[in-house]
Amino acid sequence: MSAAETRKPIIVLVRPQLGENIGKAARAMLNFGLVELRLVEPRDGWPNPSAGPAAAGADIVLEKAQVYATTAEAVADCAHVYATTVRKRGVTKPVVTPEEASREIAEAHGRSAILFGPERSGLETEDVALARAILTVPINPEFGSLNLAQAVILCAYEWSKHEELVQPPQEDLLPPAPQGELDGLIGHLERLLEPKGYFLPEARAEATRRTLRGVLTKPGWNHLEVRTLRGVLSSLEREPKS
């Protein structure tokens, strides 16, 4: 495993209950470049046929997933362990947000793991006791329930800020049209508006023209957009067909 791969946090699902949730968590991981998944005592065994469809193509994560009998075994090679929980467990540990944890992981030496508990009950006290810190999300105190995949994606997204993930190519943008083309558009529109009395009264004509120019200048039309608008005006200018 390369140094870049060992730098990434391991996602550990402790006693996950539903195969669908494991699949959704795998999908969330791969969305943000994480591929190492460890499972502790999955309730319905492993592999689970329900995980594949829910992973929506994140098969590499499921194929590489490792199963452990205990949480301690799952994190035995990790120097930095974070336990996700919103409940007070009577355990005195540093409390960090996903943003803070991802920054610490990016700067740390040694492997890091993030623990996620069962869907219904969350991590047990003995699981949290293995962690160096508690990872919690600032969340509505009146509704603090996150599903498993949501919790994973929050942490994975924060981690991705420290990775050079390839972004979708940005659509090529054409430069703004030359001033002459824009003046042609404005003049064309003014010629159509003049006979309709748009610039009356005469005392307000110059102010109205300036306002119109400001409206048409603000968008920064490119030459294709100017040409399209000129085509629209030309259509309006023509006599209707009989």
Quote the pLDDT of residue 119. 84
Tell me, what's the pLDDT at 3?
75
Secondary-structure breakdown of the chain: helix, strand, coil percentages, each rounded to the nearest 5: 45, 15, 40
In the predicted model, residues of the chain with pLDDT beneath 50 are none
| CA–CA separation, 213 and 182 (whole Å) | 9
pTM for the model stands at 0.69
Domain shared by 136 and 209, yes or no? no
Name the domain boundary from 98, 132, 160: 160
Residue 203: what residue type? A
Q: Do 18 and 118 lie in a common domain?
A: yes
pLDDT in tens, 43-90: 999 999 999 999 999 999 999 999 999 999 999 999 999 999 875 556
| Residue after which a domain boundary falls, among 129, 160, 191 | 160
Which residues have a Cβ under 8 Å from the Cβ of 61 and sit 6 or more positions away? 26, 27, 29, 30, 34, 35, 37, 55
Domain span holding position 233: 179-237
Do both 151 and 187 map to the same domain? Answer: no
- Boundary (domain end) residue, out of 111, 133, 160: 160
Residues 184 and 230 in one domain: yes
The count of structural domains within the chain is 2
Beta bridge partners of 133: 82
For residue 44, count CB atoms less than 10 angstroms from its CB and return exposed for 0-12, middle for 13-18, buried for 19 or more. middle
Same domain, 104 and 194: no
